Structure 1
Amino acid sequence: MSASLHTLKNGVRVVCDPMPGLETLALSVVAGRGAAHEDLPRSGWSHLLEHMVFKGAGTRSSRDIVEVIESQGGQINAATGYERTSFQIRALKGGLDLGMEVIADLLLRPTLDEADLAREKQVVLQEIAEAADAPDDYVFDLIQKAAWGQHPVARPILGSVESVNAATNAALSDWRGALYSPDRLVISATGAVSEAELLAAAERAFGAVPVRAGAPEPTAAPFVGGHEGEVRKLEQSHLVFMLPACGAREQDYFALRIFAECLGGGMSSRLFQEAREKRGLAYNIDAYSDTYADYGALGIYAGCAAGNAVETAKVCAEQLVALARHIEPAELARAKAQLKAHMFMAREAALSRAEQAAGQVLLFDRLYPPAELAAEVEAVTPADVVRLGERLLGGGRCATAILGAKSALKAGPAFEKALFAAA
């Protein structure tokens, strides 16, 4: 049974993807806006709003919202990202109507009480402090700043102390209307659901939402590049290196995914084998693709002793340049198999499948059948990977972020020098 895509009269899109044999369902209502749509004064407001709607919505209190879902065996959660905000429910078969009703209340009818806002600001400020205290989280805030300059994605999703404290209920209410407007809203359900049941529930809950323009789309982020570093007394230094790449809508997207997989995607990857297995430089080392709709980057993370930071940086640069010049047929085949496995395994989990479908609709206004995705992966050639490598190195720019001992800060310039000298 294949997934289907429908559009309500007000522009809300609905994905129905039954999974025969399941006794549970996953419902995900995704707004295609997030922290990347915020200006500086509203930095962190999408995340703060996500917190606030759970403090009371419709006729339910904060406790009622959770209890009414959990009393029926369900689970409720939400997440804020740069380009989307997602509200998720897992439930037993038959729990669709209740789940849809509760999420609709959260998005459309939050209470937004003044006393709740004052308390929730303190919760978010603690979250900001906690992130700053976690070096393997905070170093990624540093790399975003180094890579993207003044663009909203350069700022933490949590916002700053100043911007969070500046939020008012009236301003958050206005932001809610812009963030959750129907033009970028996708309802995605998988598992024990039927098309007729889902469409009826979606129409009741979201069909009457007034058509309105939401927050304007942000411009594509220019990759600025540069070095960010902070000295801390840590047992391990944390290194992140980043190069400009492509967005999820671009032709090179799957070549980028394969490049990252070969470079540092698993235990057979070049970085793991060279930096950890052969040289013992780092315990944690991996590469990843960081993609948004229309721009993106290739990233490398390593955690190592401060005395190994410079050598680790050089190894990362050397392995990246070597892969950009040539990929072995066996490692290309292995990377394709791993990438397809990641995608297909995610489809076996109902919530991941619902989120994946919503993401496809927001990016492409269509659904991608698994066979088509597999074909896209298989179509990547060695020449495509080399072309992607040329793109990574061709701009002559990189971003680095180092957190740890003072001596480790030399790893950023060492990576840049080794990268472009070798290229």
Structure 2
Amino acid sequence: MTPPKTPRVHTLANGVRVVCDPIPGLQTVALSVVAGRGARAEDLAHSGWSHLLEHMVFKGAGGRSARAIVEVIEAAGGNINAATGYERTSFQVRALADGLDLGSAVIADLVQRPAMAEADLAREKQVVGQEIAEAADAPDDLVFEMAQAAAFAGQPLGRPILGTTDSIASATPRTLGDWRASLYGPASLVISAAGAVDEDGLLRLAERDFGGAGGAPSPAGEPGRFVGGQSTHAKPLEQANLVLLLPAVGASDDAYFALRLLAEVLGGGMASRLFQEARENRGLAYAIDAYPETYSDVGVLGVYAGCAAGDAAELAKVCAGEIVGLLNPVGEAELSRAKAQLKGAMFMGRESALARAEQAAGQVLMFGRTLDPDEIAAEVDAVTPADLVALTERILAQKASATAVLGPRAALKAAPAFQTELFG
């Protein structure tokens, strides 16, 4: 039987949703169990708890020790991982085709039956503390945190996913267990598998392992608000690190694909405007690119660059000038190239079973359904030069930016230079 082109979404009696995406010819399967909750669900007192919880469930669950959890998966030829973001937490198993049963059972234990031993929690707080310190020591991590904090000041989106050593210190096995119940409630869970898998078999496993999942989701948080501001930190580095953010649209906005294409034209590759002007024509930067970062209701258009400290202010002005230049219609050839690059990146990603499983889960959480690749391609192709101009006008009309500069003191002038060049 030929599988449907667009995977169907099934809902268990308790609200858990299930998506199956068979890929003919594969000998392996990817399983993602994704909770549509993450660091954005945290208040200030619980900052970092979602990430800490993701660590803790691997310390023991369902009667298996931390070592047994990974050994049982690896003994079957698979691997297991997890990740925490602002709006979702994902548990993933890649395995041989006959490893789906085991992978589902192990992840179900992690999500529903973690041991949460007090001694393990004390040790894991130390481990996460080292992770926080490592991020602070890495300039290309720290500068993004600085920009995020400026863009979304006073909100969960403006706080680091890792939290702080102080905010995670207050977690106890009981309070972290309560947090788990709200974070991984069945209404926010999606079971998604791709590769060597059949729908009936996956549904049986989902019912067996997740049909009894309980817990009520925590209330929805406040809508995201782009605040903006300047965040600078002088540090004796060889290079200045710049992140420049402008308020954009969320993933559910009609202009989402216009934002993706706007970022592609601006700084998506070696033919992009920023690469050609800042690097090729002026030699101001070795690394420079533009990117969109989108959440459910809000997003940013971002630029990252690394440069010599003395060039930072000039580079910021060049970036601002190229952004303002997008108020003029993009030529058909340039837009066609951007569309080809965007579709290529999206469809190449679909050649990975794990990427497909994760993508399907994300679509279900965002839209309540999976999206046909042809539908996505049509949305990209439908974007016009006028759409890009309209979105640029919408972005600049807010007269707000968030600028982070990390590096030698001479580079710090880049922050006001960017704001002034954009808005006067």
Structure 1 length normalisation: TM-score?
Answer: 0.98
Matching residue of 1:153: 157
1:307 aligns with 2:310: yes
Deviates more, 1:212-221 or 1:317-326: 212-221
CA distance in 1, matches of 2:81, 2:206: 19
Equivalent residue runs for 1:183-262 within 5 Å: 183-210=187-214, 212-262=215-265
Equivalent residue runs for 1:255-334 within 5 Å: 255-334=258-337
Matching residue of 1:139: 143
Shift in Å at residue 360 of structure 1? 0.2
Alignment partner of 2:377 out of 371, 374, 379: 374
RMSD of aligned Cα (Å): 0.7
1:39 aligns with 2:43: yes
Q: What whole-Å deviation, never above 9, does each CA across 1:19-50 have from its counterpart, x for those lacking one?
A: 00000000000000000000001000000000
C-alpha contact 2:181 2:216 (8 A) present in aligned 1: no
What amino acid is the match of 2:74? Answer: E
What amino acid is the match of 1:93? Answer: A
C-alpha contact 1:263 1:270 (8 A) present in aligned 2: yes
Matching residue of 2:103: 99
Shift in Å at residue 318 of structure 1? 0.3
Structure 2 length normalisation: TM-score?
Answer: 0.98
Shift in Å at residue 191 of structure 1? 0.1
1:75 aligns with 2:82: no
Q: What whole-Å deviation, never above 9, does each CA across 1:157-213 have from its counterpart, x for those lacking one?
A: 000110011111111000000000001100000000000100000000000123x42
Alignment partner of 2:91 out of 87, 90, 115: 87
CA distance in 2, matches of 1:325, 1:31: 41
CA distance in 2, matches of 1:68, 1:213: 31
Aligned sequence identity (%):
65
Q: What whole-Å deviation, never above 9, does each CA across 1:260-316 have from its counterpart, x for those lacking one?
A: 000001000000000001111001100000100011110000000000000100000
Alignment partner of 1:57 out of 54, 61, 75: 61
What amino acid is the match of 1:60? Answer: R
The secondary structure found in structure 2 opposite 1:282 is: coil
Shift in Å at residue 326 of structure 1? 2.3
Equivalent residue runs for 1:370-409 within 5 Å: 370-409=373-412
Shift in Å at residue 324 of structure 1? 2.8
Q: What whole-Å deviation, never above 9, does each CA across 1:232-275 have from its counterpart, x for those lacking one?
A: 00000000111101000001100000000000010000000000
Shift in Å at residue 379 of structure 1? 0.5
C-alpha contact 1:325 1:389 (8 A) present in aligned 2: no
Matching residue of 1:16: 20
Q: What whole-Å deviation, never above 9, does each CA across 1:71-108 have from its counterpart, x for those lacking one?
A: 00000000000000000000001111100000000000
Moved beyond 3 Å, runs of 4+ = none
CA distance in 1, matches of 2:294, 2:327: 19
C-alpha contact 2:38 2:183 (8 A) present in aligned 1: yes
Unaligned runs of 5+ in 2: none
